[in-house]
Amino acid sequence: MCGFFAPFLLWYYCRMKKLIIGNWKMYPVELKEARERFTQIKKTASVLRNVQTVICPPLVYAGDLKKMVAGHRVTLGAQNAWLEQEGAYTGEVSPSQIRSVGLTHVIIGHSERRVLGETDEMINKKILAGIKAGLVVVLCVGERERDKDGEYLRYVASQIKLALKNVQKKELSNMVIAYEPIWAIGKNALRAASSEDALEIAILIKKTLADMYNRDGSHVPILYGGSVNEKNTKDFLTASRIDGLLVGRASLDPFVFGEILRGAEKVK
């Protein structure tokens, strides 16, 4: 009987965990600094039972930081990947290569990459390639601005539909969707979204997934990202009913990020 329920219990236990991803972007400038920050974050994260922490450092540091990883509570991810597994693509790194050095996650469709010319079609191909390589793909969606007529809702729904074209139901277990409104991201952010803003989009994402996949879409974890800090963590994780956070600037400060992780640990 117990054996029969074991996979379900494991799935349920993992689902209960909050997923907190740190996107380090192109910081810090030196490996030594990256090692120091990662050491401190790892110390906090590795004792938390209810939080899965993923750090996405500049890829050039990943191999080094990977040697410092022990256990499953803290893993590493990539901030981007190419849409083929190998080939003559100077300067690109493939999902299979990322997986082969032990990274678990890849962020795809971040607004800072879309602005460099990444199209919905490329994002879709990158997602399919990431899943094929065995990575958990974190798809970023979000509007540039909000309008009174609710056009932004249609925009976010269409980003999801285009990104998930040809992604099969059974592959959804490798997907995470992060709502990152562009107006709330980075040092030029107007403000963080409110927990109501995030809740509205979490519902929209669930509805869009239900339209595409029926009930199979309901297990895809939803994250919020944009000016997350130690003060608003609890609000997002409770009032917005989301499964985790994608953290930019604050993930580079081990003390602040540690507070975010500890805050997430306390949320039931």
Q: Does 248 bind ligand PEP (CB under 6 A)?
A: yes
Given the complex with ligand PEP, which of 54 and 96 has the nearer CB atom?
54
Instruction: Give catalytic status of residue 180 as yes or no.
Output: yes
> Is the bond preceding residue 57 a cis peptide, omega within 30 degrees?
no
Q: Does 249 bind ligand PEP (CB under 6 A)?
A: yes
Each residue 147-186 as x (binds ligand PEP by CB under 6 A) or -, in order, gives: ---------------------------------x----xx
- Dmax over CA atoms of the chain, in Å, equals 55
Cβ at position 112, least distance to ligand PEP in Å: 6
Report if residue 138 touches ligand PEP, rule: CB under 6 A: no
For ligand PEP, the binding residue among 22, 217, 225, 244 (CB under 6 A) is 225
23 lines the binding site for ligand PEP (CB under 6 A): yes
Structure tokens at 140: 């970023």
Segment contacting ligand PEP (CB under 6 A): 50-58, 194-202, 206-214, 243-251?
A: 243-251
Amino acid at 213: Y
Catalytic member of 110, 112, 143, 200: 110
End-to-end CA distance of the chain: 28
Considering CB under 6 A, how many residues would be counted as binding ligand PEP? 14
The DSSP line for 57-113 is: --HHHHHHHHTT--SSSEEEEES---SSSSSS-TT---HHHHHHTT--EEEES-HHH
Q: Which of 121, 67, 131, 61 is nearest to 96 (CA)?
A: 131
Which lies closer to ligand PEP via its Cβ, residue 95 or residue 142? 142
Token pair for residue 94? 């493939």
Q: Catalytic annotation on 110?
A: yes
What amino acid positions are annotated as catalytic residues? 110, 180
